[in-house]
Structure 1
Amino acid sequence: MRTSIATVCLSGGLVEKLHACSDAGFDGVEIMDADLIGAMESPEEIRALCARLGLSIDLFQPFRDLEGVADDVFADNLRRAEAKFAVMERLGADTILVCSNAGTATIDDDDVAAAQLGALADAAAKRGIRIAYEALAWGRFVDDYRHAWRIVQLADRPNLGVCLDSFHILSRGHDPAAIEEIDGDKIFFLQLADAPALDMDVLSWSRHHRLFPGEGDFALTDFLAHVLRAGYTGPLSLEVFNDTFRQTDVVRTAGHARRSLTWLADRTAAANGWTDDLLGEPQVARGIDFIEIAGADLTAVDETLERLGFAFGGRHRSKRVRLWTAGEARIILDEQVRDETPRLTGIGLMVDDADAAVDRAVALGAPAAFRRTYAGEQELRGVASPDGTVVYWSDRPADTSWITEFEGGSPGSGACESGVVDHANVGYRWQDFDEAVLFASSVLSLTTQSSADVPGPQGLVLSQVMRTEDGVVRLPMNLAPPTAPVPDRHVAVRCDDVVAAARAARAAGLDFLRIPENYYDDLAAQFDLDPDLLAELRELDLLYDRDGSGGEFIHFYTPTIGGVFFELVERRGGYDGYGAASAPVRLAMQRRASASA
């Protein structure tokens, strides 16, 4: 698999972009005309730099508004093209992207378009240059790849072929199956982009909201399979116009982009039973092994967990680390850091083959995480996620795992004996969110469940749930508004009787997040609740939700400690959500508590 990326995907100047592409492991680049125009370096210097970096220049682009015009306009278009051909010769590029005319076309005639493209191809042939003709989704007369292919066939020049762009094809709802009817040798270039399902004009959608593969709603594995079955042998290239990516760190974004192509190629091969599976079979998590919270002083977290009914699982025999358990829910407290603020720093997952999971993650570009291990201790291998949170994998049963390394534990109160980690809620800055979604889908093999906009006191918070199909691992991911701080993270533990757990925790002296009286007045209006249940919810600061099938969700929150807090939940009758209707109240009360602290 050869990989390429358009320089328009990245922030910075052209030289910065080229270095980042090389560092990320790309084989080649598409050089955008605008990037070259804005560079101080000459085409010859850019050519030499690419050679030193091991990057091929796979495409020069774009050339716009060529065909479907009157003769005098076309003559000037040829003049423009000759000037660009001369630049390409200096650059060492042999293929140029020609977009279907979207601005100046006045003649809706395939014969005219073919004749003019043929004349352009003849001029390019004298310099050894190929023309890749692309149907823009908003082209004036040509907006369908099948139409573009018919014109290329009509022109019949050996150095004239098509460029296929997943966005232009899938955004218009065109069936990509007909790609297999195109001669593979005439598919001169392939550009890939994902995108969310949006109801807006296609030009704005394209210019601002494209995503890297695996982050949107396009069926890209099916699309790529059609292209490869047609016989295409060129590079898989990314062309992603996205306002966020063009503002974020160029090195990190290039690595993010490269991971997306590896994931796409791997999933396409696996879906079609091809032997060149790049990464091995994904290791789907069988459960959450542990959650790690780190901080220089975690005494307040100890007190909260004890009052919640967690059992003290002991101290690690060689590290400043403690374990708390509630049934199968395990919380590790790590004081081997200098950061005073407690925060969620690690997630352990149980899989069938831990080494395979780590090897696959590293092949996807995730950096391996170092964890000091002494003789007789389990080597927990893991990788760092884009925000630094470490994901560990284990395939050992509990009686032979890292759990046996903790000594001096004691039983808990019994209120949470049935506990299991229901979900871990993680928050991200606006510029990191798309990369985090790709990490969750590609490295953790999670799928998208749902998303919702939650009104908060500092703007809308987008909550995107990533999970295993069976729901044993759930990661709601919160996107903070651009001007708001990153949302605090929290761990939700599920138990059989959250009301009893709340009463026990209250009796043990735990302060809950206070819920306003107005919330319970609203509950009474929304649901026909038993008066005794409503009174109980009000007394204990419990929140409540009910789904359309009658499933119920009862939960409460602890105060925030540094950057982390806890939630105890109970799911009744198959309820599968997260109490989204109560989230605005929780956010408002947390902000109030923070302001008064």
Structure 2
Amino acid sequence: MRTSIATVSLSGSLTEKLTAAARAGFDGVEIFENDLLASPLTPEEIRTRCADLGLGIDLYQPMRDIEAVPEDEFARNLRRARHKFELMRRLGTDTVLVCSSVSPLAADDDALAAGQLSRLADLAQDFGIRVAYEALAWGRHVSTYDHAWRIVETAGHPALGTCLDSFHILSRGSDPKDLEGIADIPGEKIFFLQLADAPLLAMDVLQWSRHYRCFPGQGDFDVAGLVRQVLRTGYDGPLSLEVFNDVFRQAEAGPTAVDAQRSLRVLEETVGLTTPPAPVVPTGVAFAELLTPDAEPVAALLGALGFARTARHRSKPVDLWQQGEARLLVNTGPAARRDGTGLAAIGLESPDPAGAARRAEAMLAPVLPRRRAPRDAPLDAVAAPDGTELFFCATDHPELPSWRADFENTDHRPAATDVTRIDHLALTQPWHHFDEAALFHRSVLGLHAQESVDVADPYGLFRSRAVTNADGSVRIALAVGPAPAEDEVRAQHIALATADVVAAARRFRAAGGRLLPVPANYYDDLAARHDLPADELATYRDLGILYDRDAHGVFRHCYTHTVGRVFFELAQRDGGYRGYGAQNAPVRLAAQHTAR
């Protein structure tokens, strides 16, 4: 099906919005009236610009407060409509959106509404234009799709149809059975379909709509279920995105448009319209790569954690540090960050690296060019929204090339075996790409996104959302700070799994490592919340170990000091604990601010 996006969903001038939509692969746009009014281009120039970009103008919107009004008011509305229809003819578009009235002059009279909409459609037909009538969720008298359809059906005009908008329908908490009525609307009378998702929020629906919409798959609505009902009608018009979002309005238009197009590709796959390459879910973390201008403090920290430098890349300044199945690459190449050590790449174990790359490309993940020597393993890599490079690896597959073959062994071996593997990775997202990151990791990697949580920071709130595979062998916690400036300073971290966090913490400290000190007040509260033995509590206090429980088990964890932008966590999961210690995050964040 054709894909379209409303210009209100993107930032910038109208020209910038059109260019971004075309480059992202959209077939058409809805031109929002404010964007046209603010543009220096004439309607004819906009029409030509869209044609040059390969974009159709699928809809002009909106016309407001048209129907069920006193006759003198309706006469003024028809005069206004005539001007808009003339403008639309110059633009080269044939469908206009009319929203259900919110005017205090509007009467609760369906017959009057149908009669006036029919007269509006008469005028529109003279210009070769169709009128798509949409129920606003906060409409004065018409606020549901079925009510809007009854009025259209009563009017019985060939140039009058309905527009279905997923936000206006689903924000009212529609039961799935309520959506079944959509399938009873003739497909040819659904003139347009607008799509938006949203998080579930307890707030005024108008404010919810204006500020918190997001692309399908980024919120909590069953947009796919609604689309399935629409497709049952035989509707063959565009799938169009109309998203009002404060973050999108401030973010760069190009990446936002790509994110939007990705959301529609996932939606089309979900409802069975397309069959892109299937996701290849990663089965583990092959490595995490640190990029650093100074290897010495990183080496000291890893050595204290029990890692050993077991191999070195044949042709690049990259060392492999290993302990158990936890592998860390330390890269001191020319691309090293000026602001210190950072987590630059993640190697993901994949049963089918080539298939994972095909899926990533189909879902518009940026494929990264890679310089490699003739003998280097041919690894495919894509960029996540935060810039982290994701490599698809087969470390021990007997028939596939392994990245490990690029490294030559040293004589060093780990002196300790406290760490077994990488438990999870925490990545700070650019403030305007948080929702995109969750959709990216779901759609490209096939990971499951857990619920978003808000965590208190000394300087505000930050959001966190984990994505994981089924058995928890891949866990990535995505976080975004309370303000854009926080992106540049907030640390990333690598959590290392251990079977005995107390022994691991003691060995780390004995080796000269510095653990993050935790305030004594935390342990006073811990004693009040959990009936822990006094000696156990004293050990936690001494080592800075934090404690949490969920319905499945217990979590004990502690943190190292920060090097550059990276710190490590020693994590012990017992009894199937599934979380990440979110209860303790405010204490950890405050302790890190104090240490900084």
TM-score (norm 2): 0.95
d(CA) in 1 for partners of 2:17 and 2:224? 27
Alignment of 1:204-243 (within 5 A): 204-243=207-246
Q: CA deviation at 1:245?
A: 0.5
Amino acid paired to 2:458: P
CA contact (8 A) 1:311 1:411 kept: yes
Q: CA deviation at 1:105?
A: 4.6
SS at match of 1:284: coil
Q: 1:323 aligns with which of 320, 331, 347?
A: 320
Q: Using a 3 Å threshold, how does the CA distance of structure 1 residues 255 and 548 change in structure 2: closer, same or farther?
A: closer
Q: CA deviation at 1:450?
A: 2.6
SS at match of 1:189: strand
d(CA) in 2 for partners of 1:225 and 1:212? 17
SS at match of 1:407: strand
d(CA) in 2 for partners of 1:105 and 1:471? 58
Q: CA deviation at 1:538?
A: 1.6
d(CA) in 2 for partners of 1:150 and 1:470? 50
d(CA) in 1 for partners of 2:250 and 2:525? 42
CA contact (8 A) 2:4 2:28 kept: yes
d(CA) in 2 for partners of 1:124 and 1:287? 59
d(CA) in 2 for partners of 1:133 and 1:378? 57
Alignment of 1:350-429 (within 5 A): 350-397=349-396, 401-409=402-410, 410-416=412-418, 419-429=420-430
SS at match of 2:127: coil
CA contact (8 A) 2:58 2:94 kept: yes
d(CA) in 1 for partners of 2:391 and 2:104? 56
* Higher alpha-carbon deviation: 6-15 or 482-491: 482-491
Q: 1:307 aligns with which of 298, 304, 307?
A: 304
Q: Using a 3 Å threshold, how does the CA distance of structure 1 residues 430 and 339 change in structure 2: closer, same or farther?
A: closer
Identical columns (%): 52
d(CA) in 2 for partners of 1:293 and 1:268? 40
Q: CA deviation at 1:234?
A: 0.9
In structure 1, what is the equivalent of residue 28 of structure 2?
28
SS at match of 2:435: helix
Give deviations 1:224-251, integer Å, cap 9, x for gaps.
1111121111111100000110111112
Amino acid paired to 2:92: G
Residue 431 (structure 1) aligned with residue 429 (structure 2): no
* Higher alpha-carbon deviation: 525-534 or 125-134: 525-534
Amino acid paired to 1:170: L
Unmatched runs of 5 consecutive residues or more in structure 1: none
d(CA) in 1 for partners of 2:122 and 2:199? 40
CA contact (8 A) 1:513 1:590 kept: yes
d(CA) in 1 for partners of 2:483 and 2:119? 50
Residue 144 (structure 1) aligned with residue 144 (structure 2): yes
SS at match of 2:121: helix
In structure 2, what is the equivalent of residue 440 of structure 1?
441
In structure 1, what is the equivalent of residue 330 of structure 2?
333
CA contact (8 A) 2:450 2:467 kept: yes
In structure 1, what is the equivalent of residue 53 of structure 2?
53
Give deviations 1:297-322, integer Å, cap 9, x for gaps.
22211211111112322111121111
CA contact (8 A) 1:313 1:406 kept: no
Residue 518 (structure 1) aligned with residue 521 (structure 2): yes
Amino acid paired to 1:414: A
d(CA) in 2 for partners of 1:12 and 1:134? 27
CA contact (8 A) 1:315 1:406 kept: yes
* Higher alpha-carbon deviation: 97-106 or 496-505: 97-106
d(CA) in 2 for partners of 1:121 and 1:394? 59
In structure 2, what is the equivalent of residue 9 of structure 1?
9
Residue 100 (structure 1) aligned with residue 95 (structure 2): no
In structure 2, what is the equivalent of residue 568 of structure 1?
570
In structure 2, what is the equivalent of residue 343 of structure 1?
342
SS at match of 1:112: helix
What is the number of equivalent residue pairs in this alignment? 586
Amino acid paired to 1:232: Y
Residue 195 (structure 1) aligned with residue 195 (structure 2): no
SS at match of 1:153: helix
Q: CA deviation at 1:135?
A: 0.8
Residue 528 (structure 1) aligned with residue 519 (structure 2): no
| Runs of 4+ off more than 6 Å | none
Q: CA deviation at 1:396?
A: 4.9
Amino acid paired to 1:521: D
d(CA) in 2 for partners of 1:182 and 1:518? 62
d(CA) in 2 for partners of 1:471 and 1:224? 32
Give deviations 1:144-195, integer Å, cap 9, x for gaps.
1111111111111111111111000100123322211111111111111010
SS at match of 1:450: coil
CA contact (8 A) 1:309 1:414 kept: yes
Give deviations 1:400-421, integer Å, cap 9, x for gaps.
621233223321122325x111
Q: CA deviation at 1:44?
A: 0.9
Give deviations 1:13-47, integer Å, cap 9, x for gaps.
11111111111111110001111111111111111
d(CA) in 2 for partners of 1:119 and 1:244? 40
SS at match of 2:247: coil
